């Protein structure tokens, strides 16, 4: 197993520190930790608690999905590894958008009925689409000035420029 080099770690966590990132990043983290319309796994048929017999594998998958959701939420709130947490967060928000939009549009409900439980309304669906698009901006800018990534980036940058003895 090869450990990542310092430059590859620095490229992953580098952030310019714009101030608008921090409240946006924290709000997205809170949306992952305490979702408005229920947890992510509740939107998928295979782990839906309302089905008559839920196999143990579906319960385990549901718990694993919730663990990913909580870890991504904590990552956004703390500003640690945001660029890596964006990928599962985008998948979570896309499923939430589809589930909410499917609750309002019959054609989408019919198309997604085998996988997604229709839930909520189109307003929340549009909200989740907007959040998913905002994640693309966070991918390019990083996690902002008040984050663990920024602190670690500054520490690694100082260590790179320190004279070796």
| Per-10-residue mean pLDDT, the chain, length 165 | 60 67 89 78 63 66 85 92 92 89 83 78 88 89 83 76 60
* Structural domain of 25: 16-157
What distance lies between CA 155 and its chain's CA centroid?
A: 26
| The pLDDT value given to residue 76 | 93
Residue 4 lies in a domain: no
Q: In whole angstroms, what is the distance from residue 67 CA to residue 15 CA? A: 26
Closest CA to 95 of 75, 118, 63, 68: 118
Residue 11 lies in a domain: no
| The pLDDT value given to residue 161 | 64
| The pLDDT value given to residue 74 | 94
Residue 20 lies in a domain: yes
| The pLDDT value given to residue 107 | 82
Q: Which two tokens stand for residue 148?
A: 């663990």
Residue 164 lies in a domain: no
| The pLDDT value given to residue 75 | 93
| The pLDDT value given to residue 9 | 60
| The pLDDT value given to residue 91 | 92
Residue 152 lies in a domain: yes
Question: Is the entire prediction scored with pTM above 0.85?
Answer: no
User: Counting beta carbons within 10 angstroms of the beta carbon of residue 26, is it exposed (0 to 12), middle (13 to 18) or buried (19 or more)?
Assistant: middle
Residue 9 lies in a domain: no
| The pLDDT value given to residue 13 | 63
Q: Are the CB atoms for 139 and 13 separated by under 8 Å?
A: no
Query: What total of structural domains would you count in the chain?
Result: 1
Residue 5 lies in a domain: no
């Amino acid at each position: 197993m090869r450990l990542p080099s310092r430059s590859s770690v620095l490229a992953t966590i580098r952030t310019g520190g714009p101030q608008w990132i921090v409240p946006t990043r924290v709000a997205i983290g809170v949306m992952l930790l305490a979702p408005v319309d229920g947890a992510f796994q509740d939107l998928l048929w295979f782990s839906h608690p309302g089905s008559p017999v839920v196999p143990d594998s579906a319960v385990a998958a549901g718990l694993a999905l919730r663990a990913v959701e909580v870890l991504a939420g904590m990552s956004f709130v703390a500003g640690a590894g945001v660029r890596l947490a964006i990928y599962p967060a985008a998948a979570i928000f896309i499923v939430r958008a589809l589930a909410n939009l499917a609750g309002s549009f019959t054609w989408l409900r019919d198309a997604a009925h085998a996988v997604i439980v229709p839930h909520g309304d189109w307003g929340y669906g549009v909200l989740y689409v907007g959040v998913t698009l905002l994640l693309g901006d966070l991918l390019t800018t990083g996690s902002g000035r008040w984050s663990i990534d920024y602190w670690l980036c500054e520490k690694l940058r100082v260590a790179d420029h320190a004279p070796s003895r």
